[in-house]
Structure 1
Amino acid sequence: MSDNEFDLDTYLDRIAWRGERRPDAATLRGVHLAHMRGIPFENLDALGGTAPSLALPDLTAKMLHSRRGGYCYEHNTLFAHALEALGFRVTRLAARVVVGADRPESRPRTHMALLVEAPDDPQPYLADVGFGAIGALLEAVPLTAGVEFHDGGRRHRLVQVRHRGPLPLWVLEVHRPDKGEAPGGAGGGWEAQYAFTTEPFEHPDFEVINWYIATHPRSPFSRRAYVQRLTGDGHLALDDRLLTTTRADGTVTERELADEAEVHRVLVEEFRITAPDGLTLLARP
């Protein structure tokens, strides 16, 4: 097998996918959800001071053969190779994370997402297995404005907003339930997650963005641990020493971990991750 040949069998075993291998919408949604459940989100390479490799052999060794995950460029690069091996056409997109922003243009394009097309389906889909937040897509959704999607128990929609560029600006929004309300409840409201156009970005573009986000001293990914895992009953998130559990019924519990030893233990037992030897996990002062 060459360095650029994707090992689809190993990938599907890693995410425990036993379904069809057809380039259709049902397979896309199913493999997307299986990837989200099977491979955790983590930024431990960046926390250790290095930009993670986006080369396919390195991604395969790290995310398929080791107890590791990755962050958006790693996840979506790996997922793009898997989808192409299944027969989909994939366009790499660069998005602006706009959670808490007053306008999309105030944030740089630092997130990677995917536009996916099936050979016999005129409808393209937005796919993204690397957004390290509870507002992430669990399944790919059609690139359609103003329609509410229920993906894996979450509620999302895509809207178009006015901007100065020649291409339509899409914004992914997640429905946030009121505090204590189950995700399917009628309360709460919509929160923007990221904005993107469908302009293609290439591997060298993400090499530059990846290096900047992993190594810049003011990047949050180079300063503190961010780890996420989708579980059968909800979502686990580790932000430095704060462990947050969000259950399917909307119940949220938080616990502050005591020290490095407990953080390492939680990574192994709760997130199924073995941290690199010698890595300091708690945030720098």
Structure 2
Amino acid sequence: MTIEANASVDLAAYLDRVGYSGSTEPTVSTLRSLVAAHNKSIPFENVDPLMGVPVADLGSAALFDKLVHRRRGGYCYEQNGLMGYVLGALGFDVKHLAGRVVWMNTSNNLPAQTHEVLSVTVPGEDEPWLVDVGFGGQTLTSPIRLDAGPVQQTRHEPYRLTRHEDGYRLEAEIRGEWQPLYIFTTRPQPQIDREVGSWYVSTHPASTFVVGLSVALIADDARWNLRGRNLAIHSGGRTEKRQLGDAAEVLDVLTERFGIDLDDLGDRTEVEKRVSAVLDS
């Protein structure tokens, strides 16, 4: 993979953003540690699409500016895009793959190919790893081998891959049951196709990222998920649910618990007004 050879791939700033001070040698240990650090530091969030701001530029300068320097979060195209630039610059071989989300999909219709994951190969190894730091509330918390069949433990739940057509289906064991999350192809996707997908999910009037608020962050011992005013904390096989009172309280949680810099969005009153409209979406 060719990484843009310019100052926009600011590794020092990224490592500071995720609080990582360990080895940066391209090893399996480094890969695991970086995924964990990223999970705990950069929230999954869709505030830009919710506010009518399309996510169209997936270049390194745009992603480092938003997620690193401006201390915002993002969704799969931004999260895995950023991680792809970082890993590539560190010497890993990175391929961007496309997926279709089937988790909690009760329709028989084929979902759009609007999810991005990474296939990452460590130098000196033949078998790639699946890396995905951008699947919201059920994000992989460790890289897993891109290998169908065996159950693979992450820092949180067990996962497994099964074969699906020309690719794989990712499943997670949730409350004792295997749940399908997404299917994905092993064909590398060029950036122009990823930008088309990102434009679609950040602007289509029926997109969940346009009509509702979704935020997630992963701690060592818990998953924090927010949908509208509904906050869920999953830890140790148990779930605690809280319903926040109003948009002002939601915004406080976004800044205080999820670490999102809402000053970056400008007029807080307009953000509060938009969030108020989707509290129960």
Q: TM-score, normalised by structure 1?
A: 0.89
Q: Is this contact kept in 2: 1:243–1:257, CA < 8 A?
A: yes
Instruction: Quote how far apart the aligned CAs of 1:55 are.
Output: 2.5
2:12 counterpart of 1:9: yes
**Cα deviation digits, residues 178-223 of structure 1 (max 9, x gap):** xxxxxxxxxx111110101110101100111111100100001001
The 1:22/1:105 distance shift into structure 2, 3 A limit, reads farther
Task: Select 1:37's aligned residue among 26, 40, 53.
Answer: 40
Q: Is 1:26 aligned to 2:29, yes or no?
A: yes
In the alignment, which of 186, 189, 193 is matched to residue 198 of structure 1?
186
Distance in 1 between the 2:5 and 2:34 partners?
A: 24
Q: Which residue of 1 aligns with 2:256?
A: 269
- Is the CA contact (8 Å cut-off) linking 1:224 and 1:282 kept in structure 2? no
- Distance in 2, matches of 1:77 and 1:283, equals 30
Moved more, 150-159 or 49-58: 49-58
1:223 touches 1:283 (CA, 8 Å); kept in 2?
A: no
SS at match of 1:9: helix
Q: Quick one: distance in 1 between partners of 2:5 and 2:145? A: 34
Distance 2:107 2:184 in 1: 13
Residue 258 of structure 2 aligns to which amino acid in structure 1? Answer: F
Report the count of equivalent residues: 268
The one-letter code sitting in structure 2 at the alignment partner of 1:271 is: F
CA apart distance, 1:283: 3.8
The structure-2 alpha-carbon separation of the partners of 1:140 and 1:103, relative to structure 1 and needing over 3 Å to count, comes to farther
Q: 1:81 aligns with which of 71, 74, 85?
A: 85
Q: How does 1:218-237 map to 2 (within 5 A)?
A: 218-237=206-225
**1:1-285 superposed matches below 5 A:** 5-52=8-55, 53-101=57-105, 106-133=110-137, 135-161=138-164, 163=165, 167=166, 169-177=167-175, 188-247=176-235, 249-275=236-262, 276=265, 277=267, 278-279=270-271, 280-284=274-278
Matched residues, percent identical? 38
Task: Report the residue type matching 1:46 in the other structure.
Answer: P
Q: Is 1:41–1:70's contact at 8 Å kept on the other side of the alignment?
A: yes
Residue 233 of structure 1, CA deviation: 2.8
| Pairwise CA distance, 1:282 | 3.2
Shift >4 Å, 4+ stretches: 1-5, 102-105
Q: Which runs of 5+ in 1 are unaligned?
A: 178-187
Deviates more, 1:53-62 or 1:197-206: 53-62
Secondary structure of 1:245's aligned partner: strand
Residue in 2 that maps onto 1:180? none
TM-score by length of 2: 0.90
Partners of 2:145 and 2:58 in 1: CA distance: 27
Label 1:129 to 1:92 Cα distance change in 2 as closer, same or farther (>3 A). same
Work out whether residues 43 and 227 of structure 1, in 8 Å CA contact, stay in contact via their aligned partners in 2.
Answer: yes
RMSD: 1.9
* 8 Å contact kept, 1:33–1:139: yes
Q: In structure 1, the residue corresponding to 2:182 is in which secondary structure?
A: strand
- Give the residue type in structure 2 aligned to 1:75: Q
Q: CA deviation at 1:58?
A: 2.0
How big is the shift at 1:259?
A: 1.0
- Distance in 2, Cα, partners of 1:231 & 1:118: 26
SS of corresponding position for 2:62: helix
Offset, 1:255: 1.3
Q: Distance in 1 between matches of 2:233 and 2:74?
A: 20
Secondary structure in 1 matching 2:198: helix
